[in-house]
Each structure stands twice: as structure tokens, then as C-alpha cells.
Amino acid sequence: MALIVKSTKERVVKLFIVTVLCFGFAAWCQYDALYKYDGPEKASKRRFNQGAVPVLIVLGGLVLFLAVRAVKLRIEADEQTGISINGRAAIAWEAIEDIDTSALAKKGYLYIKYRKSPDESATLKLDEYNLDFFDELYAMIRTKLGLPELAGAQSEPSASDSPADSEKPPT
């Protein structure tokens, strides 16, 4: 059975919102530069608005590209073949050399180091905040590779870790 993981809807929506804001602000700067500031005393504001338009259009285009790429992202993990990204670049289970989970508990991502060819290695970053079904994918990777559960990654801090209220000085 294959597990299909896609980008979270929250990530996609945020990227599209930033795209709309960039293009909207570019239109507003263009309006300001052409119609609002006509006098010579306001030439500096007009220059800023004229210079901001191409920068905002390029930035909006870049964020739009990232949003479309996030919509099309599809990671498929299969019990037999391994992990494939967007239907290509299959990473066989045997090709995985190491998994770095040092940042999983605090930052929410992990790195998978694998062999592309006998003399070339690569790294894949998986981010739990940007991927749906990240926990299921990580569980499949752990079971397939025979890794132990990450201690403390999913658990809440215990009561013994925090100082007791009685130890605090009275206010």
C-alpha cells in the first residue's frame, strides 16, 4: 500500500495570499507613482513607487511559482519501491544511508541522506509543518528501516521538568 503525502493547505493558502499581496501592492505603487504625486517636492516618493513596482512583480512571480510548486508536490512512499517525489526520483529503501532527526523535536524537520549513484549522495529534507501525513510517512520510514522511535519528539514535557509553583518566591 502506498502512502501519498502532499503539501498542507495552510502552506498553499499562505503562498497564494503573499502572491496577491505582492501584485496588489505593485498596482498600488504604480497608481501612486502615476497619479498621486505630481509635484516636484514629492519626486522621491514617486521614484520609490516606480522602483518598487518591478521588484514587487518579480517577488510576486517567484512566490506564485513556489505556490504552484507546493500545489503539485506529491511524495509517494511505497513498501516495495521506496520514496518517490512527483512520480520521479525514486529513493529505494536500500539507498538510504542515514536519517538526521536532530531537528525533528524542536524545528519539525528531518534529513534523509541517500545514494543517488554509487559515487554520489544527496539529501532530502522533510518538513512536518509543510506536509500532510508527515507522521505516517515518518512511521513508515522508521518501520521499513528498523529505526527506534524518536524519544521525546511527540511527547509533552513532564511535570517534573518544570519548577513547582511552591519553589517560586512570593510576589
Q: Tell me the per-residue pLDDT of 14-55, one tens digit each, with 9 for 90 and over.
A: 999 999 999 999 999 888 877 776 666 666 667 888 889 999
> Do 61 and 110 sit in the same domain of this protein?
no
166 in a structural domain = no
Q: What was the pLDDT predicted at 20?
A: 97
> Do 23 and 67 sit in the same domain of this protein?
yes
> Do 79 and 40 sit in the same domain of this protein?
no
Grade residue 137 by pLDDT with cuts at 50, 70 and 90: confident
164 in a structural domain = no
171 in a structural domain = no
Grade residue 149 by pLDDT with cuts at 50, 70 and 90: low
159 in a structural domain = no
CA 23 to chain centre: 22
* pLDDT, averaged across the chain: 80
Q: What was the pLDDT predicted at 71?
A: 92
Does the pLDDT value for residue 79 go beyond 60?
yes
> Do 87 and 31 sit in the same domain of this protein?
no
> Do 67 and 85 sit in the same domain of this protein?
no
> Do 84 and 105 sit in the same domain of this protein?
yes
155 in a structural domain = no
Q: What was the pLDDT predicted at 50?
A: 83
115 in a structural domain = yes
What is the domain range of residue 99?
75-144
> Do 21 and 36 sit in the same domain of this protein?
yes
pTM: 0.70
- Over residues 111-140, the mean pLDDT reads 86
> Do 58 and 109 sit in the same domain of this protein?
no
Smallest CA-to-CA distance from 145 within 106, 101, 96 is with: 96
> Do 124 and 82 sit in the same domain of this protein?
yes
Q: Tell me how crowded residue 164 is: count the other CB atoms within 10 A of its CB.
A: 8
Grade residue 75 by pLDDT with cuts at 50, 70 and 90: confident
3 in a structural domain = no
3-state helix, strand, coil in the chain (%, to 5): 50, 25, 30
Q: Tell me how crowded residue 116 is: count the other CB atoms within 10 A of its CB.
A: 11
Contacts of 6 (CB under 8 A, 6+ apart): 73, 74, 75, 131, 132
125 in a structural domain = yes
Strands 88-91 and 82-85: antiparallel
Give the distance between the most distant pair of CA atoms in the chain. Answer: 72
